[in-house]
Amino acid sequence: MQTEVMKMLGLEAPIFAFSHCRDVVAAVSRAGGMGVLGTTHITAEQLEIELDWLDAHTDDKSYGVDLMFASNARDEYEGMTIDDVDKFIPQEHREFVDALMKKFDVPELPPGEREKIFDEYMTGMIRTHRTAEGRSEVLYKHPKVKVMASALGVPPQRVTDKCHEHGIKVIGMVGRPKHVRRHREAGMDIIVSAGHEAGGHVGEIAGFVLTPQVVEEAGSIPVLHAGGIARGKQIAAALALGAQGVWTGTIWLGTSEAETTPLVKEKIFAATSADTLRSKCGTGHPARRLRSAWVEAWEAEDAPKALPMPLQSILVNEALERMDRYQPRELVSYPAGQGVGMMHQQTDVRSVFLELLTELGETMENMSNICGALNEE
């Protein structure tokens, strides 16, 4: 099997894997897919370390990096101190978060940690174009980086041009057909069609409906289908919809290589596809995540409305750190898509990858048998 995207990037399988965990990224690339490292949480210096590691652990294969050039990023927050930013956060919101932490007995962070985390957060996580562009400079020193993806908006033209000069293909993500035009005009090489069922930031349109429309709008630009992929037969379906491959995220969270905590894995394996929901509670932008008391509290009718990006992330940053560190069972959540309903136990990246490919092959064969039988009638 060969699709346009596989030819473009020299891949052995039409599978892209987004992960914040370098071990997952390396294992997918080594297996013949395209591992793509999520980097929104890290500084340019940390990114350099991660890419050095990936260079050394991907044999003769290439990999990708996901930066975030959010269209609603606001540069004015950059370089602010904890006290500057605190002024933008309403007291009601602060009290809401404090009350939840108290109700579920989540311990405080050790003294001095709040400021440290905040500083790291402000340098690494505030999603301004300037910080993302700073991180993009690191990519050009690593020739094995073959794709750069941008969530939530297209990169500035000079970044796309520079990626192209360095042989890096640029990937944009869309949740609506009408967004494709902007990506086409901005010179994207590949477009990800991210359906409602996907983990992380998502729109309102189901992938089964979205992808054929994105394919039509994209013209000659290859499209990857994203959302809910946990089986090889879904990859076959994505190809049937006109996609050239799939862009996956949630399925890797259950692997032994993933960064997810044992409690998050336990929740993922126990979850049905109805146990995720789209909420603005993490970033202020709708993102699909595992249902928990934390997410449900934000979705309750009397909850304060989530703040716009990046204020919501700043508001909840400390609470998330406390939850991450102390793992309060009822509150713990994690970005995840509806595909969790098809994930039941921990395996490793290679096994997941091979299972996807085996079932893809079987499904293609079944389809061709069906076609053969129809032709004989």
Residues lying near ligand FMN in the complex (CB under 6 A) are found at: 18, 38, 40, 66, 68, 149, 151, 194, 197-200, 226-229, 247-251, 335-337, 339
Pairing relationship of beta strands 15-19 and 34-38 according to DSSP bridges: parallel
Least distance CB 267 / ligand FMN (angstroms):
13
Instruction: State the Cα–Cα distance between residues 193 and 18, nearest whole angstrom.
Output: 14
Instruction: State the Cα–Cα distance between residues 61 and 66, nearest whole angstrom.
Output: 17
Closest CA to 258 of 336, 330, 362: 336
Least distance CB 102 / ligand FMN (angstroms):
27
Least distance CB 151 / ligand FMN (angstroms):
3
Task: Choose between 50 and 93: whose C-beta lies nearer to ligand FMN.
Answer: 50
Least distance CB 205 / ligand FMN (angstroms):
14
Least distance CB 164 / ligand FMN (angstroms):
20
Q: Taking CB positions, which residue lies at the least distance from ligand FMN?
A: 249
Task: Choose between 132 and 149: whose C-beta lies nearer to ligand FMN.
Answer: 149
With contact defined as beta carbons under 8 Å apart, do 138 and 44 qualify?
Answer: yes
Task: Choose between 247 and 353: whose C-beta lies nearer to ligand FMN.
Answer: 247
Task: Choose between 93 and 289: whose C-beta lies nearer to ligand FMN.
Answer: 289
With contact defined as beta carbons under 8 Å apart, do 277 and 291 qualify?
Answer: yes
One-letter amino acid of 181: R
Task: Choose between 290 and 306: whose C-beta lies nearer to ligand FMN.
Answer: 290
At 167, is the secondary structure helix, strand, or coil? Answer: coil
The DSSP bridge partners found for residue 17 are 35, 248
With contact defined as beta carbons under 8 Å apart, do 299 and 277 qualify?
Answer: yes
Task: Choose between 93 and 122: whose C-beta lies nearer to ligand FMN.
Answer: 122
Instruction: State the Cα–Cα distance between residues 152 and 201, nearest whole angstrom.
Output: 8
Instruction: State the Cα–Cα distance between residues 354 and 336, nearest whole angstrom.
Output: 22
Task: Choose between 251 and 311: whose C-beta lies nearer to ligand FMN.
Answer: 251
Query: Which residues touch 233 (CB under 8 Å, ≥6 apart)?
Result: 359, 360, 363
Instruction: State the Cα–Cα distance between residues 14 and 265, nearest whole angstrom.
Output: 26
Least distance CB 246 / ligand FMN (angstroms):
8
Task: Choose between 199 and 212: whose C-beta lies nearer to ligand FMN.
Answer: 199
Least distance CB 251 / ligand FMN (angstroms):
6
Task: Choose between 66 and 93: whose C-beta lies nearer to ligand FMN.
Answer: 66
Burial class (CB in 10 A: 0-12, 13-18, 19+), 60: exposed
Least distance CB 188 / ligand FMN (angstroms):
14
CB-facing half-sphere around the CA of 203: CA atoms within 13 A:
20
Unique residue bearing structure tokens 């996956």: 248
Least distance CB 337 / ligand FMN (angstroms):
3
Task: Produce one character per residue of 295-310: b if its CB has 16 or more CB atoms within 10 Å, e if not.
Answer: bbbbeeeeeeebbebb
